[in-house]
Amino acid sequence: MARKILDPKLLTKIATAKNKPGKYIGETVSKLAHKYGVSSEAALIYLAKQSGIGTAVYQRKLDSSKQAEVRDLLAKSVPERTATARAAKQPSSPRKPASKRTSLMSATKHLLQDQGLRARCLDLLGASSRYDRAINQATLVLEDRIRKKARPPTPMTGEPLVNFAFKDEMSKTVLQVGSGQADDQRGFTQILRGIVPAFRNNTHHHVSDSFSQEEAILVVGFIDVLLRVVENSVDTRLVASSSP
């Protein structure tokens, strides 16, 4: 049986519209016919319709069975085109802005540098309440760091420990701030003395729900600064023992 030759004029119009060679269009028609299980003539009309080419004259020449194939094929393509158009018009969902709590914790993770402080306080700062626990742990880390650096001769905690380790006068202090400046020594000594009654005692001996998350983060962040002061301080006893 002779092979059916597709309408050359319609093939040429499709090739021109798609800027493709005629052979490519013929192969595309064959693939569409195989994909949808229809005749090549129906596939040709379908491809022409997709290219915006009128097919009424050619379509009327087809027998009733092939015209039915065309109608079914075009009907199938409507939901596909509708879904594609709907997806194209659908605006992308705007990114949900981060919550205040998430933003605060992200900044806190970035800013806190002391690993010991991070390990003990980050989870408590991210809780939904009871932020006094974070301050309790932060002041505990600070006290422990001072104790290890100053090595007092007897067990000490709180204000006695701070008063042993840091003194206003450079000639009398055990731990001297890293800058070696008298004003820095006096200032940080007074700050450390104030931290104990203002924050340590309050959260070590009492349960307090008065601290907000923001306040707790600020206190812990400031203690992070003080920990660097303690770490960078110089033990004057070691300096004296090494002097000739």
Q: What is the pLDDT of residues 145-183, one digit of tens each?
A: 999 999 999 999 999 999 999 999 999 999 999 999 999
Q: What is the pLDDT of residues 119-154, one digit of tens each?
A: 999 999 999 999 999 999 999 999 999 999 999 999
Three-state DSSP at 177 gives coil
Going from N- to C-terminal start, the domains of the chain cover 8-82, 100-242
Pairwise CA distance, residues 177 & 188, whole Å: 8
For the four alpha carbons of 83, 87, 90 and 95, in that order, the dihedral sign comes to positive
Q: How far is CA 231 from CA 176, 191, 214, 239, in A?
A: 11, 16, 26, 16
The pTM of the full predicted model, rounded to 2 decimals, is 0.60
The values of phi and psi at residue 6, to 5°, are -70, 155
